Amino acid sequence: MKQLKKDLKAVAKDLKRLTQNTNKMIKRLEKLEKAQAAKKPKAKVIKKAVAKKPTRVSASDTVLAIIKRSRKGIDTIALRKKTGFEGRKIRDIIYRLKKQGKIKSEGKGIYVKA
């Protein structure tokens, strides 16, 4: 019986200490809430306009632009030098542009805008 009383007193003492600690924590939280409420609201963040990525120019557009700039027409060798594309790619692009009606042949191997 004596042991039970000692245990109950110890438990009661621990409970008092826990309630005190809980009260201290509540006071700290209230202080933090007051401090946060007292802070001025932050200014609105203004988002900067994101620079748009440059649009890719297709190989056909590049070749067509070069052909349009040349007044007397241009041949495949000159196109190869100006674009850096290989011969097969140049031929394929010219074929497509002719089918679309954007360019025409002025003479053998010389192309002008349509």
Reference 94, options 107, 110, 81; nearest CA is 110
Delimit the domains of the chain by residue range. Answer: 1-46, 59-113
pLDDT of residue 114: 87
Cα–Cα distance list, 91 to 5, 19, 72 (Å): 103, 87, 19
**Hey, what CATH topology would domain 59-113 get?**
Arc Repressor Mutant, subunit A (1.10.10)
pLDDT of residue 38: 75
Q: Phi and psi of 109, rounded to 5°?
A: 80, 10
- Over pLDDT 70: what percentage of the chain? 96
Residue 7 clears pLDDT 70, i.e. is over it: yes
pTM: predicted TM-score of the whole model, two decimal places? 0.52
